[in-house]
Structure 1
Amino acid sequence: MSQRRAVRSRLERLAREIAKFGAVGAIGFVVNFLVFNICVHGFHLAVVRSGVIATAVAIATNYVGNRYWTYRDCDRSRRSREMSLFLLFSGAGLIIENGILALSHYGLGLTSPLADNIAKNVIGLGIGTVFRFWSYRTWVFRAQAVETAESFLTTDAVARVDAHK
């Protein structure tokens, strides 16, 4: 029974991590959406340029939220490494998100405001978010993620040994 509680505890921690990441992401989504639409419709900038600007502002917002809330218990001793990796993976997410916008707008000719918002803020952001969650958890804010993964492996190994007794 203690193994079940341990697994349950770890799953609950993972669920809290995902919920916090999602809450920070929701704020980032609102920032991204607003900045994108202000740039496109208010300043009449090109859609991909607007998308890159909006994503960059959202990345800054998300870093603050993830560093100081979602992953606040992670190792802070190597902040420059963390920031470099965060920017690297965020940049990859930016390319995913705005690459889908560019493909939709310029490649497929879907140029309405609704099509641009769906391409960038639904499809692109959705795929980018999954990539970012994986990469931040795996490479950027490692201490908590590695601890969770190691504890899952340890619990699984213990369960297998106990099953063979």
Structure 2
Amino acid sequence: MGTIGAVIDFGLFNALTQASAFFHQNAVWASVISFIAAVTSNFVWNRYWTYPDSRSKPLAQQGAQFLMVSIIGLLIRTPLFAFLEPILIRFFQAWWKWAILSPIIVAHNVALAIVIGVVMLWNFFANRYWTYNDV
């Protein structure tokens, strides 16, 4: 279900950053919003599809555990994204020569891919062995 979450994360992030002139949304906030949407989807899919046996645990307890893991994931992701974004923008502005995508779009998506990879590991192991430990 991580793939669905990543698609939601990248899709919403790009929609928000591309519409930033309208929404006045910067990339860090777009990353936070897209993360929240992705983990919400992941919780539903994990509870009802990936770990259906975990429904023996009360929804409120499991939801609270998943929320705590996700908040820690967000606390890892947000400063890491904020750190990587300007570095990658400068890098791609200097080296990116393809006219199809702007260096800023590429930098944003590379930064997002890195933070998704890091936080995906945290979320998977923490949720697998704590939130869904009854499976």
Taking structure 2 as the reference length, what is the TM-score of the superposition? 0.81
Q: Which residue of 2 aligns with 1:134?
A: 125
Matching of residue 102 in structure 1 with residue 93 in structure 2: no
- CA displacement 1:112-153 (0-9 Å, x = unmatched): 221111111x21000101101110011101111xxxxxxxxx
Identical-pair percentage: 29
- Equivalent of 1:74 in 49, 54, 71: 54
Gaps in structure 1 of 5+ consecutive residues: 1-23, 145-165
Asked whether the equivalents of residues 10 and 34 of structure 2 are also in contact (C-alpha less than 8 Å), the reply is yes
Counterpart code for 2:4: I
- Equivalent of 1:88 in 39, 58, 68: 68
Taking structure 1 as the reference length, what is the TM-score of the superposition? 0.67
Once residues 15 and 55 of structure 2 are traced to their aligned partners in structure 1, the CA distance between those partners, rounded to angstroms, is 37
Matches within 5 A, 1:30-45: 30-44=7-21, 45=25
Once residues 117 and 34 of structure 1 are traced to their aligned partners in structure 2, the CA distance between those partners, rounded to angstroms, is 10
Matches within 5 A, 1:1-165: 24-44=1-21, 45-106=25-86, 108=87, 110=89, 112-120=104-112, 122-144=113-135
Asked whether the equivalents of residues 97 and 125 of structure 1 are also in contact (C-alpha less than 8 Å), the reply is yes
Once residues 71 and 57 of structure 2 are traced to their aligned partners in structure 1, the CA distance between those partners, rounded to angstroms, is 23
Gaps in structure 2 of 5+ consecutive residues: 91-103
Q: CA deviation at 1:75?
A: 4.6
The 1:25–1:33 alpha-carbon spacing in structure 2 relative to 1, beyond 3 Å, is same
- RMSD (Å), alpha carbons: 1.5
Q: CA deviation at 1:90?
A: 1.0
Q: Which runs of 4+ in 1 moved over 6 A?
A: none
Q: Which residue of 1 aligns with 2:97?
A: none
Q: Kindly tell me the number of residue pairs found equivalent between the two proteins.
A: 119
Asked whether the equivalents of residues 20 and 26 of structure 2 are also in contact (C-alpha less than 8 Å), the reply is no
